[in-house]
Structure 1
Amino acid sequence: MKQTWRWFGPADPVTLAHVRQAGAVGVVSALHHMNRGQAWTDDEVMKRKAEIERAGLTWDVVESIAVPEPIKTRTGDYRQLIDNHKASIRAVARAGIGVCCYNFMAITDWTRTDLDWPLANGGTALRFDIVDFCAYDVLILKRRNAEADHPEGRIAAARQRLASWPESKIAELERNLIDWVPARETVYDRESFLRQLDEYRDTTAEGLRQHLFAFVREIAEVAEEAGVKLAIHPDDPPFPLFGLPRVNSTEEDTQRLLEAVPSPANGVTLCTGSYGANPANDLVRMARVFGPRVHFAHLRNTTREADGSFFEAEHLDGDTDMVAVVAELRSLETREAREIPMRPDHGHLILDDLAKKVNPGYSGIGRLKGLAELRGVMRTVDAFRAGRVN
């Protein structure tokens, strides 16, 4: 697998020099200053590519060309936004970048209740706490009919927890849930978030799924013609939030998309953390079943809890057998004589990074540690397959 690293552009506190020092050879990036659905231009794409190449790296994956809400609801100016997306894919192709990762999550991008959850070793991790989420959804945001989406015991626990929270805790939770994600195209306050939720009031899961299929049919035709691979990212978390439908949370969801749009350009980002937070998903099996349609991999791990909460674990710990996943992906590469770009995802905040301002989940040292561990797994898997060790 080609070892890559997500870089958020010139403002990222983890620089391209740091990426090289970590041992990555490729970069996963986007034009984060053009993330409102506008068409990317050749000049802007080539400017970013040149910056990456001057650092001795290659730009291998675009993550992500924005998919604005009107595309998902097929309302407003969605036709123009789809045309812009196609133009951006063509610009990426002309620059020689081979993979576009994107997602189709309604309103929210990846969502966590805690961005600095304390670990026993003194570091911090990302965490999704289902009771905290319930407290916000039902008692703070007061979303219409939210109570129907949570069991009574969870709501009771949320009421008890909320009673002890200071205003600062409530403000932090709200920011984490609706007002923060690196490079997100839209951020919200409480009122604007409720208005956006209202746009989805009549959207069913099957309706959103059909909108996804229609969108991918269009962009896959362009991507196939241009020589670009599309790699949809799974929902994160892989279950409904805020009453919004989810359409790419399980193996079955993804298989339906691949069958609906059989173009070889239409593929998957195998995110072991996002899929892995759903106990229904078997990541080793998914790597094998999706096979030729795995165009990109996010390798991270999560530890699930009985109530549906989870936290970001060490890359080689958690509920996903990372060694077996890597072995399956390496076998896939050998069978198909190709190299799959991968990146270590969502590292812990540890060591000197604890005192620095970093994008939560995207610290330098935590991802460096994860990449080093994954690199060791890859080398060991290769040694076993070559018969050098037994």
Structure 2
Amino acid sequence: MTFPILLILGALSAFGPMAIDFYLPSFPALAHAFGTDVEHVQLSLSAYFAGLAIGQLLYGPLADRYGRRKPLLLGVSIFTLASLACAVAPSLEWLIGARFVQALGGCAGMVISRAVVRDLCDPIAAAKAFSQLMLVMGLAPILAPLAGGALLGTFGWQSIFYCLTGFSALAGLAIGLRLPETIPAGPRPPLGGALGEYRRLFGDRAFLTYALTGGGAIAGVFSYIAGSPFVFIQLYGVAPEHYGWVFGSNAAGFILMAQVNAYLLRFRGPGFWLRRAVWVYFGCGLILLAVTLFRPEHLWPLLVPLFGCIASLGFLMPNSSACAMAGQGSHAGSASALMGSLQFSVAAGASALVGALHDGSALPMAVVICLCGGCAALLGWSSGQISERSV
């Protein structure tokens, strides 16, 4: 895989983190602007997760039938227009609706970038490529909240969405100029066969186990994303412009572990490392829950197990994706779509649960992260009983 293609795929994969993490420091400002509270502003985050879950099911069949480029350009165009709509939102309801549409466009890059990797790579090379994409995806959670906090303080919350508009427009230009069509030559599945393909995938035990293992991990980190603005800014008094530094320190561990994972894949397959990393994730979740129950006066005791949880995703995300996508061949688009939809459906439910359990403490965030870690560990253990694929 060439560097320009990898760079474009990295930008497409960053659509999700950029659209999520960029505006997190603005939650209190949005609540003030729309005359509501942070808990209601969190609905815009849940709406985005719901849009990701639904939209990915649409792009998979489109990518398998019409190729990778055309659906990508369609999705990026929708994301660009919806980002502009967010910037001019006159009410919270408008913002929530625009965020949902924004997600419908942004998920095209997430689905099709995985399918392009599957087009060009075998399972081991795919896991390495996903680890390299994690570097770009990991930089977004570090830089986006920092940039969002700076823009918020200088130009207001609207500037965050204007920047997303420009970023997506540039990504669309790069796709048009530098991304070739990667779908293998030969007959393509009919668009009407999507339901049959999804039925087949639901019957594929290995695919579902690996996809949901990744889903449990992603749900935990999105619980952290949903709960951290309240915990960091309002509960522990972190200034909005400094939120990104605290948030980004955890993402740095994610980047480091993704690169360690790429190196270790020289020695053992992605399934081997996946089944060990889930226990690290669960263990850190248990420690986080135990620390939170003591309601510490300072923030740093929470940051240590949170760092472990987020860092372990550097192993969990690329390896679960590579294992789930192994053997999908010409149906990689549909497989990627269903995997993403399952994962973000779980993430949407987990982030909504954090808001529903809100009690003015860090406990709801810790409980949901620990629960997600336990589910991921159980699924990761069960993946070791699957012998259908050599991963």
Please indicate the TM-score interval, normalised by the length of the shorter structure.
under 0.3
TM-score by length of structure 2 reads 0.24
Q: Larger helix proportion, structure 1 or 2?
A: 2
Q: Larger strand proportion, structure 1 or 2?
A: 1
Structure having greater relative contact order (Cα 8 Å, sep ≥ 6): 2
